[in-house]
Amino acid sequence: MKLVLAIIQDADASALMRALTDHAFEVTKLASTGGFLREGNTTLMIGVSDERLDELRRHVGQTCRTRSRLVAPSVPMGEQGESLISEPIEVPVGGAVLFVLGVQEFIRV
């Protein structure tokens, strides 16, 4: 068994939860925050058998889109203290970041 931590965008969370539960995956949803954008995102914990890992990956790939976000860089200061205004930069986010961890035990009490 594996525990998949899937970090996805909030906009994809409902569709992915639906797709996974429709296909009998068990899922737990956590609210999370990205360290770089400091914006909310969604982390799904999915305990899955090794045999179904590829299928899970396929659902995630089909559901989670890559989107671009414009980020204003912090304003650097010149030598005389004047600000050097720079253009916002485009940052791609997603489709999804997956961590796949081995599960030592799955216990229901």
Query: Residues in the site for ligand 2BA, rule: CB under 6 A?
Result: 7, 24, 26-28, 34-37, 41, 45-47, 91-94, 97
Q: Which is nearer to ligand 2BA, 81 or 106 (CB)?
A: 106
Q: Closest CB to ligand 2BA belongs to which residue?
A: 34
Copy the structure tokens of residue 46: 């999915």
Tell the smallest beta-carbon distance from residue 20 to ligand 2BA (Å): 9
Q: Which is nearer to ligand 2BA, 58 or 67 (CB)?
A: 67
Burial label, 47 (beta-carbon count in 10 A; 0-12, 13-18, 19+): middle
What residue type is assigned to position 30 of the chain? L
Tell the smallest beta-carbon distance from residue 31 to ligand 2BA (Å): 12
Q: In 3D, which of 1, 23, 12 has the Cα closest to residue 93?
A: 12
Residues 6+ apart with CB under 8 A from 77: 83, 84
Tell the smallest beta-carbon distance from residue 48 to ligand 2BA (Å): 7
